Copies of this chain bind each other. A is one copy, B any other.
Amino acid sequence: MTIRLDEMDRKILAQLQRDASQSLDDIAREVGSSKTPVWNRIRKMREAGIVGQQTVILDAEALGFEACFFVLIRTSEHEAEWQNRFLHALRARPEVQEAHRLAGDIDYILKVRVKNARAYDAFYQALISEVKIHNVTALLSMEEIKSTTMLPL
């Protein structure tokens, strides 16, 4: 399942991250190889799950998603069943763009993107009615300074 990646694989991944719409020929030229080997390496990395979803980055503001919150959550419940319900609730809600379980004093952090503050409140009310949460702090983003999915290969 785990593949050993060499320098060439990493160069190819960097190109795909940068612009996944490039043709195989373009990528091959950039990394100093040719079509077939590049194509085979990409196929292998896809099969191994290293290369996942191909997507486009949309302009959230232009589409009316003008509010972004980071939500810090503390809970008193730590049973498996509660956690399961909480996880499924998060995964089911499309406004939750990120959710992490944390080490330490704060238990979870969410990144929630919504149209406006009212939509955030609707999300918040829906969430706390589904699962019991001890303490919630919402941090409102004023400005997105940087946002990327690129890994520094």
**A residues neighboring B (CB under 8 Å):** 2, 5, 13, 16-21, 48-60, 62-63, 65, 68, 70, 87, 90-91, 94-104, 106, 108-109, 111, 113, 139-153
Contact = CB atoms under 8 A, between A and B. Distances in A.
A120 to B, nearest CB: 13
A6 B29 CA distance: 40
A95 to B, nearest CB: 6
- Copies of this chain assembled into the complex: 2
A145 B102 CA distance: 10
Contact of A20 (B50, B54, B90): B54
Contacts of A147: 97-99
B146 A91 contact: yes
A133 to B, nearest CB: 15
A139 B54 contact: no
Nearest to A146: B99
Given A65-B151, A109-B70, A87 B55 contact: no
Contacts of A50: 58-59, 62-63
Contacts of A143: 100-101
